[in-house]
A and B are shown apart, each in its own frame.
Chain A
Amino acid sequence: MKNIISILFLVSASYYFTSCDDYLEMPAQTSFNQDSVFVNYRNAETYLYSLYERVPSIVLGWTDILNGPSRVSLTDEAGSLALQSSYRSHKVYGGNVDATWFTTSLGEDYYSRHWTSIRRNFIMIENIDNVSDITTTEKERIKAECKILIALEYFELFKRYGGVPLVKESLTADYPILDRESIENVVNYIVELCDEAIASPNLPAKVTRSIEFGRATKALAYGLKARTLLYAASPLFNTATPYMSLGENNKSICYTNYDKNRWKLAMDAASEAINFCESNGYAIVTDYGIDRNYVVACCKRPKDGNTEIMFGTMNSNSSATVRYTWSFRGRQRGAACNSPTHNAVEFYQNRDGSKVNWDQVIRTSAGNPDEPYENLDPRFDQTIAYNGSVWRTNPTMIVEFFDAGEDGVTDGKEGKKTAKTEYYYGTRKYLNGYEETSSGFLPMSPVMRLAEMYFIYAEASNEYQGPNATAFDLLDAIRLRSGMPEVNRSFSQEELRDFIVNERAVEFYAEDHRYFDVKRWLVQNPFVNIYNVKVLKWADDTYTYEKYLHQERAWYDHWYLHPFPQAEINKNYGLIQNPGW
């Protein structure tokens, strides 16, 4: 008996006393590495998803950007609810921001994320050839897509920071020394990447299967090239003397000369983009009537009739999050992250081309709360909710943005915590048709639309050769489809420039253009005076509207370009901080 026990013990012991390294070896591979990702298309496609996840998205907001508000609230287009002290936009309004806070806490941009995306795309380009179960055509298509995504990341860097280091492969060195490049080199590299994608025979002009919508196409490459060249030709960069000096490194924040031909490059690129798109099935949306064309063009997917969208991003945030970000409090139960300012309202003309006179107190007739707005550009109603506007899905509900109105400023038992709005407007654009809290929808962020190409052509050609017939025709096409009259053909170059500035603000409201447009135009002290309108309801059922200066926000010239994270400068690999930060 004892012998049996001892034998059993020895046998079981010998089983455990195996060789050391075997015992400690990690069990069978349960996760992916580079070799197992780029081995079949299923895994490689999953990797592709991660590449798109980082593409900029304006409709998205919430925790990623400004802790709720979107970039739109850093402009004169919108403001965020002051009593939500966690919204980081408020600190920008106050102006008390330094490079460290701006880059680590604001959340408008995370410098390192661009580099992460660039690396991920290069890894795809460098490894996709190892995948065995797809055709060369598909591989080349993916490579071309990745080039566009890299170009997009560099564009996002360029418009914020100016010249940045150029990384052209996935780096392996631990501590590479790479200086900031000149504006010229960065612009050329973006254009080069776009041209390479355009030259690829395997990249489609437009996705043919609706399931692929959201992937980069040749149209995006054309569009990005035109957009980049427009920025390059703009006053911020196309100048001999930068907005503030960086000494011998000025070439990293401007071209160090003015060259009118840069406008021509932008104009030609826009022209190519328009021709390419229109001969490949893209067209300005005109089929839904003047009260609907605009919102279809901005917010719908191709399967819902949007022929104009060149690139839109879909993100994993639910419609509820989008609604939370964009709608006002009160009955909408949003978070009032981005409320339109009165400045934004004043962008809009009446349908006859005139403007509402807001400098006087406007008193409506009895029972007509929306009187001041009733003749405005149809795009207004598709973009902004105002006192007296109608709930899209429930026509019996009327928005009440007046003091003590259902959606206005009220104090409940919890004091200011239940105050519903600060501005007397709400954003409707990305919620259009979905204002009921119970309905869900699939959010899309419009990143590029054919309309933008029209505007690029109009702006660049006006700068290069002055007012011209093509420019007028293109602008008219955008206005007419939304029921607005033709552009005045007698405009001078300056008048047309001012007109385009205003029209861009209307057409691209909250599409993430204005913040950077105003900076590239080098507008003096933009976004400073923010107006609001006070709405009161009187006992006789009339309403008064009184415009007033609501907020004076800060602006400093060094804000024309973003600061690099101070921590990044301190790493001493050649990065030089932008002036003034």
Chain B
Amino acid sequence: MNQQYIYAKYPRIVLYTLLIFIATNAYSFGGKKTTIQEISDPDSVTVKDEVILPDSNHEIISYNTVRNDDIIKSSTYTVGNALFGLIPGLIVRQGSGEPGVDSPNITIRGYGTFGNSNAPLVLVDGFEHDLNSISIEDIESITVLKDASAAILYGGRAANGVIAVTTKRGKIDRSNIEVNVLQGVQTPLYLPEFVGSADYATIYNQALINDGLPALYTNEEIQNYKTGDPIYYPSTNWLDKMVKNVTPATKLNVNATGGNDKIQYYASIGYLSNTGIYNHTEKHEGYSTNIKYESLSFRSNLDIKLNDEWNVKIDMQGKLDNKNAPVDSTSSIWNALYKYPTYIPVYAKDGLLGGTSYYPENPMGLINEKGHMNIHKRHLLTNITTEYNLERLVKGLKIGGRFGYDNYYTVTDGWQKSFDSYSVLGKDEITGEPILSSAYGAKTVLTYFEPEDERQSLRLNVQGYIDYSTELGSSNQLNAKVLYHQDELTLGSESPYYTQSIGGIIDYSIKDTYFAKAGMTYSGSEAFKKGNRFALFPSISAGWILSNESFLKDSKVIDYLKLRASAGTVGRSDLGLRFAYRDYYKYFGSYSFGTSGIYGGGLIQSDASNPDLTFEKADKFEISFESVILKNVNFSATYFLDNRRNILVSRNNIAPSIIGIEFRDVNAGEAKSYGLELSLGINKSTNNGGYFAQLNYTLMGSEVLYNAELPVPEGSEYYYRTGNQIGQAFGLEFAGFFDSHEDIANSPVQQFGEVNPGDMKYKDKNNDGYVNEYDKGPIGDTGLKSEFGLILGSNYKGFDIQAVIQGRLGSSMYMGGYSQIYWPLINENGVSTYILDQTPWTESDKAHANYPKLTTVASSNNYRSSSFWYKDADFARLRSAELGYNFSESLASRCKAEKIRVFLRGTNLFTLTNLEYGDPERMTSYPAMKTYNVGVNVQF
């Protein structure tokens, strides 16, 4: 397949996009422009306020919504990164800053299960989509559904909570056009520093001496490294050399809304260009090896009123993206950037790359001399919703159907080559030129490689609903809804994933003061055996708005006061174990008979089946309190409890191996998670502006209740994972450094490899005379404990400012997870500047040692999970700050615009942490990014 074939698919989609865009706009431009007066149509108001939730009564479910304005103010280039700290209970964790794959990890209320995933269900306008598939500008609001009652109609998919995104829709108005331009620069949020060759040689010599080996570098050599010579005594700072400090990103979005009483539209086109931070990538003719991510996206949301009873919504969203990147994987490039020796020159001579037989590929070559590849992705999502009002038949009755068809496609192609490198053996006394070794590796020319990883995914979703609402008596309201849902997802060549459910809710309110709701969903999944495929998920909730009672109605202090409680069960079926109910045989291993050396694939019985496999279930309870006092202050508190059962656990721990087969996991694990969400806000407006502050605080805890663990020897009960929080790390307890050989002889025997003076001593927790596996206990705060977000804002005249600070308290970091920084020389690591501030153990300075003795051989005794390697890593980060200015209306109108706003916006600007060295969130591979942007928003 040649590249033309691939690109041939694109123009069709681009054309398609443009046609829709033009068609929708032409319709409205050409049609009669609605006047401002016509907006008073009551239906259009509900459209504007609509958050696509499964039911209409929002008073007594647990949810939080953020609206477009707030999201966009803290946004950069992807949706996920805009959500830090904005919503209580929504835990967002920093990911990579690599363009195109820079989305963070998102969970709701921490960890609820130790099963395979804590990922919530993400719905866009009621259809399951990836959060990052949409453009930030198109989002009307993001709502997080937390308790069972809120998510009950999603039944068997909602155990980890639901994030519901609603996109913008048209309204009856003249055509409004909005243009957003954002131009930013990015810089790595954190990069470690490594010592130069002279320090490296000194430290390496010390480590050799510690190992009882002769030093490798002479004093003269060390002196020469200090003096430095780019060829003979280099001290190459690879990160400096290969990583740019500043790289640009651009985002554009144009959208149009409007419509008349028959048809309303929202349409947008977006463009994003985001560049990577690799340096010296532009020297090749015709291509660059730097990462460059570009995407072009569109959305078209149409509301069509066919007649008084019947309306249809046709929504389409599409995206084309293309990423140029070096051929080598990001992880191997960054591994080299962190570890590649400083004593090797970038170039040995005249453009010949430096290297040695052991380190043939230097980072300059890895990034720039291996070619480049293109990852192409596209998707087209189509949703059609139709609703028929049966008012004429039964007052308050509506039926609707929804249909979704999504197509995703991805493929990679590129051009690759390989390079050679040379080491400098000495200096030619006559010519003064360096004498080079023979080449390591072989140089090849750039050749095209065929598209690979081609993958087409499809999603087909059908829903149908019946909605009924009626007033009983003068002030009582009854709503009922039935929702049917089925979904088919085909990921590449995998067998399709199916889910199906039917559910209903009834809610009832009296005088807008007392609320009650009951719901039930019957959910099924293809992952389980006939008979276990469906499960019933019920919920109930009740609420009481005290402020609507007569005794509080006239209160000057309390403006709003609500109590709410809910209980219910939701589940999930994506347990990472499909069709485990079936016995089957699989190909495994291979063997060659005879003389040919041709191997026959072997077929074996796979793990024994588990016909009882079923949903993981979450029993959720919640009680909350919400209030607004003195008009300006809001306070709410929610206690939540999630009892998780049916978590998959392995039976292999407890079944004898003489049976000769492994068992598929069983639904036997149990855990609970619980916590408190607090939210306090103040909002004040004055003549010239106003200010607001909102603090969200989530306190979380969890406990593993059952995890099919093997019995441990008596006295080692602390070894059980059961009883600890989900995600708890285990390790040994550090008890100082061995002082001398006598000290070792008098201490319990450590069974992790040879120990010498200067190595780490561990506590023999069970006092059996040996330090081994069973002396590991819980160490560090590695679950999620507490998380806060503080949003501050103010506006004065034309100016406005907003900042989001997000942080995590009571958490610790495992230094071994960042061994390239904290474990010098181990596994051929380089030496980071961290070690310069430490006092490694030496015979002469053992009294002050705070780091084990340096070594050139991996010490399996020292470099393993122990309390020594856990450090507190609480932090608070200024996630975003924005300063904006609105031009006066007169000025705007002179530019033929309705509104012009310019702003400066930064993200990840500043961090406070108690971690002494390093970054509390990300220190491996591609760094996270700090961004500075300037933007303009114009509305016509």
- A residues near B, CB below 8 A? 2, 9, 12-13, 16-17, 20-21, 23-27, 30-34, 36-37, 43, 45-47, 49-54, 83, 85-86, 91, 94, 96-98, 100-101, 111-112, 115-120, 123, 165, 167, 170-171, 173-176, 178, 209-215, 301-303, 314-316, 411-418, 442, 565, 567-568, 570-573, 575
Known: A21-B533, A24-B524, A53-B602. A116 touches B828 (CB 8 A): no
A27 touches B496 (CB 8 A): yes
A213 touches B594 (CB 8 A): yes
Q: Which of B524, B525, B586, B660 contacts A116 (CB 8 A)?
A: B660
Residues on A with beta carbons closer than 8 Å to the beta carbon of B753: 91, 94, 96
Does any Cβ of A come within 8 Å of B653's Cβ? yes
Does any Cβ of A come within 8 Å of B591's Cβ? yes
A115 touches B658 (CB 8 A): yes
Does any Cβ of A come within 8 Å of B16's Cβ? no
B591 touches A50 (CB 8 A): yes
B582 touches A416 (CB 8 A): no
- How many angstroms from the CA of A25 to the CA of B216 in the assembled complex? 67
Residues on B with beta carbons closer than 8 Å to the beta carbon of A302: 595
B857 touches A50 (CB 8 A): no
B605 touches A34 (CB 8 A): yes
A31 touches B660 (CB 8 A): no
B656 touches A416 (CB 8 A): no
Residues on A with beta carbons closer than 8 Å to the beta carbon of B653: 567
A414 touches B358 (CB 8 A): yes
- How many angstroms from the CA of A36 to the CA of B585 in the assembled complex? 9
B591 touches A20 (CB 8 A): no
Residues on B with beta carbons closer than 8 Å to the beta carbon of A418: 357-358
Does any Cβ of A come within 8 Å of B915's Cβ? no
Nearest-neighbour CB distance to chain B for A217, whole angstroms, equals: 12
- How many angstroms from the CA of A33 to the CA of B581 in the assembled complex? 12
Known: A30-B495, A214-B592, A442-B595. A175 touches B524 (CB 8 A): no
Q: Which of B216, B401, B584 contacts A31 (CB 8 A)?
A: B584
Nearest-neighbour CB distance to chain B for A410, whole angstroms, equals: 12
Nearest-neighbour CB distance to chain B for A104, whole angstroms, equals: 9
Residues on A with beta carbons closer than 8 Å to the beta carbon of B588: 50, 53
Does any Cβ of A come within 8 Å of B597's Cβ? yes
Nearest-neighbour CB distance to chain B for A152, whole angstroms, equals: 15
- Closest residue of chain A to B501 (Cβ to Cβ) is A20
Nearest-neighbour CB distance to chain B for A474, whole angstroms, equals: 29
Does any Cβ of A come within 8 Å of B659's Cβ? yes
A212 touches B660 (CB 8 A): no
A17 touches B656 (CB 8 A): no
Inter-chain pairs besides A52-B591, A412-B358, 6 sampled, C-beta below 8 Å: A49-B590, A96-B749, A176-B659, A214-B594, A414-B356, A571-B656
Does any Cβ of A come within 8 Å of B475's Cβ? no
Q: 7 closest A-B pairs (Cβ-Cβ)?
A: A119-B660, A50-B602, A112-B657, A211-B594, A32-B585, A115-B660, A53-B589
Q: Which of B500, B656, B712 contacts A20 (CB 8 A)?
A: B500
A49 touches B602 (CB 8 A): yes
Residues on A with beta carbons closer than 8 Å to the beta carbon of B657: 111-112, 115-116, 565, 568
Residues on B with beta carbons closer than 8 Å to the beta carbon of A54: 589
Does any Cβ of A come within 8 Å of B604's Cβ? yes
- Closest residue of chain A to B423 (Cβ to Cβ) is A413
A316 touches B582 (CB 8 A): no
Interface residues of B in 389-412 (CB under 8 A from A): 401, 403
- How many angstroms from the CA of A37 to the CA of B661 in the assembled complex? 17
Does any Cβ of A come within 8 Å of B551's Cβ? no
A416 touches B856 (CB 8 A): yes
- Closest residue of chain A to B578 (Cβ to Cβ) is A26
A412 touches B356 (CB 8 A): yes
- How many angstroms from the CA of A23 to the CA of B498 in the assembled complex? 8
Residues on A with beta carbons closer than 8 Å to the beta carbon of B359: 414
Does any Cβ of A come within 8 Å of B711's Cβ? yes
Does any Cβ of A come within 8 Å of B754's Cβ? yes
Residues on A with beta carbons closer than 8 Å to the beta carbon of B587: 46
Q: Which of A23, A32, A213 contacts B593 (CB 8 A)?
A: A213
- Closest residue of chain B to A101 (Cβ to Cβ) is B751
A13 touches B464 (CB 8 A): yes
Interface residues of B in 874-929 (CB under 8 A from A): none
- How many angstroms from the CA of A174 to the CA of B64 in the assembled complex? 48
Residues on A with beta carbons closer than 8 Å to the beta carbon of B750: 96
Nearest-neighbour CB distance to chain A for B644, whole angstroms, equals: 24
A24 touches B526 (CB 8 A): yes
Interface residues of B in 733-766 (CB under 8 A from A): 749-751, 753-754
Residues on A with beta carbons closer than 8 Å to the beta carbon of B601: 46, 49
Residues on A with beta carbons closer than 8 Å to the beta carbon of B586: 31-32
Known: A32-B586, A115-B658. A47 touches B498 (CB 8 A): no
Contact with A along B703-728 (1 / 0, CB 8 A): 00000001110000000000000000
Does any Cβ of A come within 8 Å of B550's Cβ? no
Contact with A along B542-569 (1 / 0, CB 8 A): 0000000000000000000000000000
Q: Which of B591, B660, B856 contacts A314 (CB 8 A)?
A: B591
Q: Which of B585, B602, B711 contacts A570 (CB 8 A)?
A: B711
B661 touches A24 (CB 8 A): no
B310 touches A2 (CB 8 A): yes
Does any Cβ of A come within 8 Å of B307's Cβ? yes
A314 touches B530 (CB 8 A): no
Give the most central of B358, B656, B773: most A CB within 10 Å.
B656
A120 touches B605 (CB 8 A): yes
Nearest-neighbour CB distance to chain A for B88, whole angstroms, equals: 37
Nearest-neighbour CB distance to chain A for B696, whole angstroms, equals: 40
For this complex, 18 residue pairs linking A to B, each with C-beta atoms less than 8 Å apart, are A2-B310, A9-B386, A16-B486, A21-B530, A26-B582, A31-B585, A31-B586, A34-B585, A46-B587, A46-B601, A98-B770, A171-B659, A173-B659, A209-B594, A314-B592, A314-B597, A442-B595, A573-B656
- Closest residue of chain A to B425 (Cβ to Cβ) is A413
B711 touches A120 (CB 8 A): no
Does any Cβ of A come within 8 Å of B625's Cβ? no
- How many angstroms from the CA of A13 to the CA of B486 in the assembled complex? 11
- How many angstroms from the CA of A489 to the CA of B656 in the assembled complex? 53
B592 touches A85 (CB 8 A): no
Q: Which of B356, B401, B524 contacts A413 (CB 8 A)?
A: B356
Does any Cβ of A come within 8 Å of B194's Cβ? no
B602 touches A13 (CB 8 A): no
- How many angstroms from the CA of A36 to the CA of B603 in the assembled complex? 12
- How many angstroms from the CA of A51 to the CA of B600 in the assembled complex? 12
Does any Cβ of A come within 8 Å of B204's Cβ? yes
Does any Cβ of A come within 8 Å of B484's Cβ? yes
Q: Which of B496, B603, B858 contacts A50 (CB 8 A)?
A: B603
Nearest-neighbour CB distance to chain A for B424, whole angstroms, equals: 10
Residues on A with beta carbons closer than 8 Å to the beta carbon of B585: 31-34, 36-37, 47
A13 touches B462 (CB 8 A): yes
Interface residues of B in 203-249 (CB under 8 A from A): 204, 208, 213, 216
Does any Cβ of A come within 8 Å of B583's Cβ? yes
A215 touches B656 (CB 8 A): no
Residues on A with beta carbons closer than 8 Å to the beta carbon of B593: 49, 52, 211-215, 314
B773 touches A100 (CB 8 A): yes
B860 touches A85 (CB 8 A): yes
B526 touches A25 (CB 8 A): yes
Nearest-neighbour CB distance to chain A for B853, whole angstroms, equals: 15
Does any Cβ of A come within 8 Å of B655's Cβ? yes
- How many angstroms from the CA of A20 to the CA of B486 in the assembled complex? 10
B591 touches A316 (CB 8 A): yes
Q: Which of A27, A97, A171 contacts B658 (CB 8 A)?
A: A171
Residues on B with beta carbons closer than 8 Å to the beta carbon of A173: 659
Give the most central of B307, B495, B592: most A CB within 10 Å.
B592
Does any Cβ of A come within 8 Å of B818's Cβ? no
Residues on A with beta carbons closer than 8 Å to the beta carbon of B526: 24-26
- Closest residue of chain A to B307 (Cβ to Cβ) is A2
Residues on A with beta carbons closer than 8 Å to the beta carbon of B583: 33-34
Contact with A along B775-813 (1 / 0, CB 8 A): 000000000000000000000000000000000000000
Residues on B with beta carbons closer than 8 Å to the beta carbon of A568: 656-657
- How many angstroms from the CA of A573 to the CA of B655 in the assembled complex? 9
B602 touches A32 (CB 8 A): no
